[in-house]
A = this chain, B = another copy of it.
Amino acid sequence: MRLAIGCEIDYEIADSATLIFNVEPMSGGRQRILNERVVVTPPFVTQQYTADETGNRFRRLTATGGALKLRYDAQIELDPVRADPAVIEEIPVAQLPPETLAFLNPSRYCPSDLLARFAAREFGEIEPGFGRVTEICNWIRAEVDYLAGSSDTTTTAADTFATRAGVCRDFAHLGITFCRALGIPARFVSCYAWQLQPQDFHAVFEAYLGDRWYLFDATRMAALDGLVRIGSGRDAADTAFATLFGNVRSGGVRVWADALDGDAAEPWTVDAVSVSELS
């Protein structure tokens, strides 16, 4: 499907500040950027670079005092790999591609070491495979309340596990944490999400199964094949849409993701979906 996605972000800079944005989607064969445009106002020079490891596309700029606005617009064509969940297997640690192994390690918001015993108790007896990660998502959706304002930027998956409330970021962190505890590489993914209500940046996760990274959304708030993948990393710490250095006050954020005419994801696909070609 094809989508028109974008965002508009406002800041007030006190004197001078450096900002690093990660709002431009990953670019690859399964997620083609048909066209895109970044407008920074005032027109500060920006530097763009793409991280080897993840394909994340960053844009860095240094702004002087006053208002700053970044607007990003793109048209995206999604052509995800679709597969039958029933035939996708977990890969034993002994055979995992080396570049996936770091995604077994605990990270700032995904302390898989702390929740290992619970993960083994709750999910250890479930048949390994794609279906086990689906069960993890089912568990999260059943046991954790989606509650705006219930968490903040310091909230870890262990906090969410205790308090049983969170937002999309927390749902993703908890899913990642359980996967890693079971020996399944998992990583955080920020995205634009078609039909998300209300519109905002969304957070999901990917687990490495079979021979690729598959998308999972424990919130079930958006169809997997309507997700435009932005950045991936160990957790939210690696994929902030903006990282601010200096005295910066955040203004509003507006996000959109609209299907282009005549195009639509199949509603709530039950396929396994993957757009990542990079490891």
Q: Quote the shortest CB–CB distance from A161 to chain B (angstroms).
A: 6
- A92 nearest CB neighbor, chain B only: B18
| A143 at interface, CB cutoff 8 A | yes
* B163, A114: Cβ atoms closer than 8 Å: yes
| A35 at interface, CB cutoff 8 A | no
- Chain A 153-203 interface residues, beta-carbon cutoff 8 Å to B: 153-154, 158, 161-165, 183
Residues of B within 8 A of A143 (CB): 121
| A75 at interface, CB cutoff 8 A | no
A contact face: mostly helix, strand, loop, or mixed: mixed
- Chain A 22-62 interface residues, beta-carbon cutoff 8 Å to B: 49, 51-53, 58, 60, 62
| A12 at interface, CB cutoff 8 A | no
| A87 at interface, CB cutoff 8 A | no
Which of B52, B105, B163 interacts with A108 by CB under 8 Å? Answer: B105
Chain A, interface size category, equals 35 or more
* B234, A114: Cβ atoms closer than 8 Å: no
| A118 at interface, CB cutoff 8 A | yes
Which of B52, B53, B234 interacts with A107 by CB under 8 Å? Answer: B234
Residues of A within 8 A of B (CB): 18, 20, 49, 51-53, 58, 60, 62, 92-94, 98-99, 101-102, 104-108, 110-111, 113-115, 117-118, 121, 143, 145, 153-154, 158, 161-165, 183, 233-234, 237-238, 243, 245
